[in-house]
Amino acid sequence: MNLKRIFGTLLTILGIIGLIYAAYIFINSSTGEQSIKTLVIYGVLGLIFFGSGIGLIKRTRDESNP
């Protein structure tokens, strides 16, 4: 198995976890400044990880197929 695909899958999973956690914070947050900062940080990092993981998976060719 290709190492880039494994790393892309890992980044995608971390991105999904970050986005789910940001949604959880959004649902259970009060209007405090600290929760908004946390929501933005986890949301942006989740989007970056998810996007880069999907991009890495799409750009990596499958070497097992001739």
Tell me whether residue 64 is in a domain.
no
Identify the band that residue 53 occupies on the pLDDT scale cut at 50, 70 and 90. Answer: very high
Identify the band that residue 66 occupies on the pLDDT scale cut at 50, 70 and 90. Answer: low
CA distance 36 to 43: 10
Q: What is the mean pLDDT of residues 12-39?
A: 86
Mean pLDDT (the chain, rounded):
86
Cβ partners under 8 Å of residue 35, min gap 6: 25, 29
| pTM passes above 0.85 | no
Query: Buried (b) or exposed (e) across 14-40, using 16+ Cβ within 10 A?
Result: bbeebbebbeebeeeeeeeeeeeebbe
In the chain, how many domains are there? Answer: 1
Tell me whether residue 20 is in a domain.
yes
Tell me whether residue 66 is in a domain.
no
